[in-house]
Amino acid sequence: MALDFVGIRSIAAIPLMGESPKGGWSTEIKPDDSVHTLIAVHTDAGITGLGSVFTNGGLVEAALKVLQPLYAGENALEPERVSEKLHQNTFWMGRGGTLTHTISGIDIALWDVLGKALDQPVGRLLGGTYRKRAKPYCSLLMDEPEPLAETIAVYREQGFRAFKIGWGPFGRRGDSKLDEAIVRAAREAVGEDSQLFVDAGASDAYWPNGLRWAINTALMLADYEVGWFEEALRPDALDDFCELRRQSPVPVAGGEVLTRRQSFTPWLTRRALDIVQPDATKVGGISEQRRIAWLADEFGVRYVGHGWNTALGVAADLQLAAALPHVDLVEFIGGSAYVDGLLTTPFALDAEGYIEIPSGPGLGVSLDPSKVSRYSPNASALILS
């Protein structure tokens, strides 16, 4: 008889701290700040599923207490149904915020459980395998032109052939010549054979620029063969995004701060974006991300995942990339201990700058508890005691 039930026994939050990478935020993250949290779903069958949430560990712990009566004893083999149950029954408790973020990590972990129980990679369970590898684009914070070029050279040497530069001084000094000098230096440093993307990071606090700046900057970016212009406007400026997309010679990208599939509908129906970038660790997990990605496809909008924040977020993005027809890029932050320093077998680039999509069961990756313990006071919760 087919396996039809594996009970959820407990869910633990494993906050990461000590090496939290800078975000480029105007009030910058400190290494000890908790902004990324792992999730472990333990089951009656002895299978543990892993997920990731892009938010503070204390918030995730509090959310798990609220959600516990809803997930206790549920069937860990049914990620989409269980996640939807959690969404539907917490409508009045801050939907779209901490609870949605936390459900994202649970959902990713439930897909991991399902894959492990069935001995199949999540990508295949999502419907099929369009590709076996994806190109990680190396995400780096902007800096003055010279140090930025030096940093890019380090990662080019490691084998990356796609880069995104973002945040930092860009658009924040009222100096369009500096903005252009940064992009020019980056274009030279990445080389003719590499893709380059630019992220203004307008979801930063008190973003000072509006539509006029975004249009002028987009015209400048076209001169440097920039592949997309991301978060060029404040994240709620839907009308301005529509106008920017009409005028920009460079594809317009955004959507990383939106949560819940329903929030994406107006951005797609009104053609506000060329590329939509939901974050599986915030938006509602793999289940929600997959629906958004397919909906975007119906509108001719490209989907590129934003789950860069931990190795498990990247693993989720890789499985989604396997199962969607037009996704060959995943975001990959350069030099984060939470991506490079947690897995038993870290991600590795091939000669063309691609990562092989893990083909093992579930997310296809495993955490090394001794590595996780360097960055979390609760690493022991990875193993059910």
Residues that bind Mg ion (CB under 5 A): 199
Compute how many other C-beta atoms are within 10 angstroms of the C-beta atom of residue 205. Answer: 7
Judged by beta carbon, residue 199 or residue 204, the one nearer Mg ion is 199
Distance CA 81, CA 106 (A): 12
The rounded distance, in Å, linking the Cα atoms of 61 and 82 is 19
CB of 288 to Mg ion, least distance (A): 19
- Which of 282, 254, 286 minimizes the C-alpha distance to 107? 286
Judged by CB, which is closer to Mg ion: 99, or 272? 272
Nearest approach, Cβ of residue 226 and Mg ion (Å): 14
Give backbone dihedrals phi and psi of 92, rounded to 5 degrees, phi first. Answer: -90, 5
Contacts of 381 (CB under 8 A, 6+ apart): 12, 13, 14, 40
Residue number with CB closer to Mg ion (23 or 121): 23
Q: Can you tell me the distance from the alpha carbon of 348 to that of 233, in angstroms, rounded to the nearest whole number?
A: 34
Report, in Å, the least distance between residue 310 CB and Mg ion.
16
d(CA 60, CA 378) in angstroms, rounded, equals 13
| Burial of 319 per CB tally in 10 Å (0-12, 13-18, 19+) | buried
Q: Residue 306 Cβ, how far from Mg ion at the closest point, in Å?
A: 7
Q: By Cβ distance, which residue is nearest to Mg ion?
A: 199
With tokens 């990461």, the residue in question is 16
Q: What are phi and psi of 277, to 5 degrees?
A: -125, 65
What is the smallest separation between the CB atom of 230 and Mg ion, expressed in angstroms?
5
Q: Pairing mode, if any, of strands 195-199 and 162-166?
A: parallel
Q: Which is nearer to Mg ion, 23 or 284 (CB)?
A: 23
Q: DSSP class of residue 263?
A: G
How would you write 220-259 as a 3-class SS string? HHHCCCCCCEECCCCCCCHHHHHHHHHHCCCCEEECCCCC
Q: What are phi and psi of 262, to 5 degrees?
A: -65, -30
Q: Could you tell me the smallest distance in angstroms from the CB atom of residue 211 to Mg ion?
A: 19
Q: Which CB, 42 or 135, lies closer to Mg ion?
A: 135
CB of 255 to Mg ion, least distance (A): 9
Beta bridge partners of 7: 75
In terms of CB distance, is 199 or 240 closer to Mg ion?
199
Least Å from the CB of residue 278 to Mg ion: 12
Rounded to the nearest 5 degrees, what angle is found at the Cα of 240, between the Cα atoms of 234 and 244? Answer: 105
Output 71 or 338, the one with its CB closest to Mg ion: 338
Please, which residue, 70 or 257, has the CB nearer to Mg ion? 257
How many angstroms from the chain centroid is the CA of residue 160? 18
The residue among 24 and 362 lying less far from Mg ion, judged by its C-beta, is: 24
As measured in angstroms, the least distance from the Cβ of 142 to Mg ion is: 12
- Locate tokens 């030096």: which residue? 150
In the complex, the smallest distance separating the C-beta of residue 267 from Mg ion, rounded to whole angstroms, is 15
**Left if phi > 0, otherwise alpha if psi is -120 to 50, otherwise beta: which for 6?**
beta
Between 107 and 199, whose beta carbon lies closer to Mg ion? 199
